[in-house]
Amino acid sequence: MKQKIYHISIFLLFWFCGAVYPQNHKADILQQDLSGLFDNSSMIGILGEDCSRIDIHFAEVRKIDDREYEIKGVSRTRLSLICPFEGNIFIDSISSCFQIMKSECTEVDGFIYGHYSFEEYGDKRYSGTFSGSFKQGYRMRGQQIEKGRNEIVELKLNLSEYRGKWKSAKGLTKVCSWADEIIPDTPANFCLFNDAGEWVVSPKYRKNGWDNLYNAYHNENLTTDEIQKARGVEEQKWWVNKSQSCKVN
């Protein structure tokens, strides 16, 4: 029954998000400073075929022109390797949703679509370049545009989603995608969904940087102190003062 409701919700979402804003409305949105849609965003994803955990945080965002924004951020791989990066996102199109996406728990007026390129800097043994496409949900608050809001886990709705690849300084290329909710481009056996609609990484992949996340929220065999210690790692602001060069924690 849950799966049926989920599929119906997703169908309605994409059906009602298919309309594109009139050209003048879209121009009005582009003229605004949309930095707030991307600034201070924390997301989680996968790097490589082994689905190594990667965390992404956007620390600074600056508008260059109506379709280009400069991003400065930090990546963290397997909770240990931290690399600052900077680059740009480019807005390609804007679509709108209708009232079906408005409720006490969900508020999304549309999505902004585009592409990105971010370059890590520091130790060349670890640094590389991220590139791909993105989508970002937004909502209208009077004349202001803010990040979209979704508090219904069962919808499995990504309001921030980046799909692409990472290329090392030596030319090695790996799949690399991240999001605020459900990680895209993962294999079918990467995770399972529990009764609460939360995704839980399967044992096959946990050794690749996911053990702490499992211990923090899903491992029922740990003591309270062990759980709190794991949650402390998950909830810390790991990106603070990490903007100099790649380093291993």
Segment 61-112, tens digit of pLDDT:
999 999 999 999 999 999 999 999 999 999 999 988 755 556 667 888 899 9
Beta strands (DSSP E) in 66-185 are: 68-77, 81-96, 106-107, 110-120, 128-141, 144-147, 149-150, 160-168, 173-179
Supply angle C-alpha 20, 57, 135, rounded to 5. Answer: 15
- Alpha helix (H) ranges present in 190-247? 203-206, 211-217, 224-235
| Ranges in the chain, pLDDT < 50 | 1-16, 18-21
Residues 6+ apart with CB under 8 A from 164: 116, 130, 131, 132, 133, 175, 176, 177
pTM tops 0.85, yes or no: yes
CA distance 206 to 195: 20
pLDDT for the residue 107: 86
What does the alpha-carbon distance between residue 89 and residue 217 come to, in Å, rounded to a whole number? 33
In this structure, is the dihedral angle defined by the CA atoms of residues 193, 210, 212 and 105, taken in order, positive or negative? negative
> How many angstroms separate the CA atoms of 108 and 140, rounded?
8
- Please give the pLDDT value at position 233: 96
pLDDT score recorded for residue 244: 65
Instruction: Kindly report, residue by residue over 140-155, the tens digit of the pLDDT.
Output: 887 789 998 888 777 7
- Please tell me the predicted confidence (pLDDT) of residue 19: 46
Please report the pLDDT score of residue 165 as a whole number. Answer: 98
- Tokens, residue 146: 């803010």
Q: List the one residue out of 92, 42, 35, 85 whose CA is nearest residue 62.
A: 35
Distance CA 183, CA 190 (A): 10
